[in-house]
Amino acid sequence: MKRPTIHDVAAAAGVSRGTVSRLLNGDKYVSPAARVAIERAISETGYVVNRAARSLVTQRTGSVAMVLSEPHQKLFEDPNYSTLIRVAIRMLAERDMSLVMMLAGDEGDRERVVRYVRGGHADGVLLVSTHAGDPLVEALTSGPPAVSCGAVIGHENVIPYAAADERLGARQMTEYFVSQGRKRIAMITGPMDTPGGIQRLEGFAEVLGRKATTKLIAHGDWTQASGERAMTGLLERAPDIDAVFVASDLMAAGALAALRAAGRRVPDDVAVGGFDDSSVALSTHPPLTTIRQPLADMAQETIRLLFALLDGAKHVDPVILPTELVIRDSA
């Protein structure tokens, strides 16, 4: 069966081939009547746009590269990434654009990402979980428009971003522990070359001041295993801990496992608080008190910033969204 062409659409719509071409290429100056007729003709003929041919004319690929600067296993372990991907796919689909998922967890991956993007295969780049000093960032700043979900350390004024108010969330959790009469409050941070790692620790320290000693602070890498290791280390150094703020729900699940192994009751002996309000927070035992960051809204705002750049904006301001304390049974 012959594949329908743009000529078939034009004939069915009763308009010229040029009018159909202008509509398909995003021209705003097509009359409403012609637009309706062409869209009906496309539906009736079953015409499918030839993206390769269109890109030769528009210099657009119709795709955006989402670049996750983490090892591939974190993509499947952390539920936050699925939220970002789901929102991005939905919003891009509304513009008839596709999402290309790319991992940049090591040097080889980064080189492939740079070749792909600089080769003109993506109209824009969405950065996720980028670490300070990542050479990938410098390599991408001279390419197509790039935005980030979360700030990129050192490039806050170069790469637009949408983020949760990390310090606010950390203060909310720490202040809650203090209000509950907890005296020895520890923290498990995220990686200290990420905004979430740095700013959540800063919010914690802003509340506790001198009580936020290095003895009561351990570091994780956002994985559940790292939360378990960090909690075990904290209990060895400071067995009188009565609360711990963990910088992600996934790491908090690991901390809960370590506390169970040590015979500590939650929250009677040690209160535990997380950060994200991801699906993990409802699957732990007990359910996790946590900080809700509006991840879906962050993803929407990040894509909105990218759309603005793709539409010709020279500058867009970052978007910072508030967090919320969600109290459950762990604290």
In a domain, 328, yes or no: no
| Tally of domains in the chain | 3
User: What is the C-alpha separation between 192 and 281, in angstroms, rounded?
Assistant: 23
Domain span at 40: 6-49
Both 159 and 171 in a single domain? no
In a domain, 57, yes or no: no
Both 189 and 279 in a single domain? yes
Both 286 and 200 in a single domain? yes
242 Cβ partners below 8 Å, 6+ apart? 182, 183, 184, 185, 269, 270, 271
User: What is the C-alpha separation between 209 and 171, in angstroms, rounded?
Assistant: 12
Both 170 and 286 in a single domain? yes
Tens of pLDDT along the chain (331 residues) come to: 567 888 888 999 999 888 888 887 666 678 888 888 988 888 888 877 655 445 444 456 789 999 988 777 777 778 888 899 999 999 999 888 899 999 887 888 888 888 888 888 899 999 988 888 888 888 887 778 999 999 989 888 889 999 999 999 999 999 999 999 999 999 999 999 999 999 999 999 999 999 999 999 999 999 999 999 999 999 999 999 999 999 999 999 999 999 999 999 999 999 999 999 999 999 999 999 999 999 999 999 999 999 999 988 988 999 999 999 999 999 9
In a domain, 34, yes or no: yes
pLDDT for 50 equals 57
Cβ atoms of 227 and 252 closer than 8 Å: yes
In a domain, 282, yes or no: yes
pLDDT for 52 equals 46
DSSP state of 214: G
Both 154 and 82 in a single domain? yes
Residue that is written with structure tokens 């790692």 in the block: 197
In a domain, 113, yes or no: yes
Both 154 and 301 in a single domain? yes
Both 170 and 160 in a single domain? no
* CATH code (residue 263): 3.40.50.2300
pLDDT for 118 equals 83
User: What is the C-alpha separation between 288 and 254, in angstroms, rounded?
Assistant: 12
In a domain, 58, yes or no: no
| Token pair of 186 as six digits | 């520890």
DSSP state of 187: E
Both 285 and 305 in a single domain? no
In a domain, 258, yes or no: yes
In a domain, 176, yes or no: yes
pLDDT for 55 equals 47
- Containing 72, the helix (H) or strand (E) segment is helix 72-77
Residue type, 209: G
User: Exposed (0-12), middle (13-18) or buried (19+): which is 299, by Cβ within 10 Å?
Assistant: buried
Both 212 and 70 in a single domain? no
